[in-house]
């Protein structure tokens, strides 16, 4: 099909989320960005100017040429990565500070994996990473990619999946969730595995940025009252008296999302589990702007460290997609629009 309009019905958001599709997130069968994306009426999303096959939402995802689609899930204490057909699998390990990079970064890509690596069990169509879903000593962050056999030249283009360990302090922990997620909050948080104290909450700013919505844990189920988006910031309220760790897993974004910050405070994250300097915010910042970083270790009580705009170029702090931050925009300035670079 070429230069036609394709229409399909989506159903993956029926659990209470909303569609979050923009042109840079959708690719044709050659792995090229689709152009001419528009939202139709009802439950329709229309695409124009597509070359090749279009996958239906909830079905197969079209991936770049030479690469293989991975799916990730947890199975007890293990992380399981699965695929169809033959594939060479690569793995990247981070220290929990956000070290994902598609290309050359601070953490190297290891592979193709052979099954002789510590904790790795390979079988046709499946990689099992033993103990990586929360067992003592599990790695803070791990990412996986797959290419057709012998196509290491396509590793950068391959879509990544990953798992991240979070430590949730008593009280508030500000987190980012850098995964594409169309399921429910309960499916993401998996209370049947993680023993959350009753009354815990996940807070998300509303669209107007003047109030918060919350997903509540009633002791058995998380309410599905917020959307999980990689560019949004969240804070987790732990009602317990001690901290605990959880492991979340999912598919990473394939392209960046533009973020617009209006007057006042915006709770945001960096979209990717990667580390950025403040220069990522672009040249549109003004002297009245500031960025607030929550510090759980502050004494005598946890609180915010405020970085003024004139310190953005010199601060030793960095930003990553595993945490979330408040950006205060000077009300006398216009909106600030920016996006992180694809790592």
pLDDT at 69 over 90: yes
Q: What is the pLDDT of residue 136?
A: 87
Indicate if the pLDDT at residue 157 is higher than 70: yes
CATH, range 71-163: 2.60.40
DSSP H helices in 110-241: 185-189
Average pLDDT over residues 285-296: 97
Q: How confident is the model at residue 60 (pLDDT cuts 50, 70, 90)?
A: low
User: What is the structure's pLDDT at 43?
Assistant: 41
Of all residues in the chain, what percent carry a pLDDT higher than 70? 83
Count of alpha carbons within 13 angstroms of residue 144, beta-carbon side = 29
Where is average pLDDT lowest: 164-178, 185-199, 276-290, 301-315? 185-199
The count of residues in the chain is: 343
At 221-235, the pLDDT tens digits run 999 999 999 999 999
Q: What is the DSSP string of 126-168?
A: EEEETTTTT-TT--SEEEEEEESTT-GGGTTTS--EEEEEEEE
In the numeric block, which tokens belong to residue 302? Answer: 């946890």
Per-residue DSSP letter, 171: E
CB 68 within 8 A of CB 83: yes
Contacts of 246 (CB under 8 A, 6+ apart): 134, 165, 166, 168, 189, 194
Q: How many angstroms separate the Cα of 184 from the Cα of each of 75, 80, 138, 215, 254?
A: 18, 20, 25, 10, 21
C-beta of residue 148 within 8 angstroms of C-beta of residue 88: yes
Per the CB < 8 A criterion, the answer to whether 269 and 232 are in contact is yes
Angle in degrees, CA 151, 156, 159, rounded to 5 = 95
Please tell me whether the peptide bond between 177 and the residue prior to it is cis, using omega within 30 degrees of 0: no
Q: Which 8-state DSSP code applies to residue 323?
A: B
Say whether the peptide bond before residue 300 is cis (omega within 30 degrees of 0): yes
* 239 band by pLDDT with thresholds 50, 70 and 90: very high
Region 313-328: mean pLDDT is: 97
Q: How far apart are CA 93 and CA 77, in angstroms?
A: 18
- The string of pLDDT tens digits covering residues 5-57 is 344 433 333 333 434 443 344 444 434 444 343 333 344 343 433 333 333 33
- Domain-wise residue ranges, the chain: 5-48, 71-163, 169-343
> What pLDDT was estimated at residue 10?
37
Q: Which of 249, 261, 342 minimizes the C-alpha distance to 33?
A: 342
Q: How crowded is residue 214: how many other Cβ atoms within 10 Å of its Cβ? A: 14
């Amino acid at each position: 099909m070429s230069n036609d309009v394709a229409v399909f019905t989506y159903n993956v958001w029926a659990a209470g989320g909303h569609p979050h599709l923009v042109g840079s997130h959708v690719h044709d069968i050659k792995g090229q960005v689709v152009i001419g994306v528009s939202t139709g009426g009802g439950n329709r999303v229309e695409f124009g100017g597509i070359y090749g096959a279009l996958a239906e939402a909830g079905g197969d995802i079209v991936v770049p040429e030479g690469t293989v689609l991975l799916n990730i899930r947890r199975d007890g204490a293990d992380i399981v990565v699965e695929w169809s057909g033959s594939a060479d699998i690569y793995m990247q390990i981070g220290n929990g500070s956000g070290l994902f990079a598609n290309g050359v970064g601070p953490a190297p890509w290891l592979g193709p994996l052979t099954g002789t690596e510590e904790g790795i069990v390979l079988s046709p169509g499946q990689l099992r990473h033993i103990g990586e879903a929360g067992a003592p000593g599990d790695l803070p962050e791990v990412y996986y990619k797959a290419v057709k056999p012998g196509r290491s030249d396509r590793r950068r283009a391959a879509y990544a999946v990953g798992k991240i360990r979070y430590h949730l302090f008593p009280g508030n922990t500000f987190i980012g969730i850098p995964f594409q997620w169309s399921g429910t909050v309960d499916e993401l948080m998996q209370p049947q595995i993680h023993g959350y104290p009753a009354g815990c909450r996940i807070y998300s700013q509303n669209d107007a940025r003047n109030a918060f919505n919350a997903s509540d844990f009633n002791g058995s189920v998380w309410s599905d009252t917020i959307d999980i988006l990689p560019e949004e910031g969240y804070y987790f309220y732990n009602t317990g008296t001690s901290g605990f760790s959880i492991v979340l897993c999912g598919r990473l974004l394939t392209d960046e999302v533009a973020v617009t910050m209006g007057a006042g405070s915006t709770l945001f994250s960096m979209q990717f589990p990667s580390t950025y300097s403040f220069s990522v915010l672009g040249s549109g910042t003004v002297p009245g702007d500031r960025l607030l970083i929550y510090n759980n270790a502050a004494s005598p009580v946890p609180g915010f460290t405020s970085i003024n705009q004139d310190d953005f170029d010199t601060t030793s702090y960095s930003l990553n997609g595993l945490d979330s931050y408040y950006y205060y925009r000077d009300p006398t300035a216009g909106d600030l629009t920016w996006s992180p670079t694809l790592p």
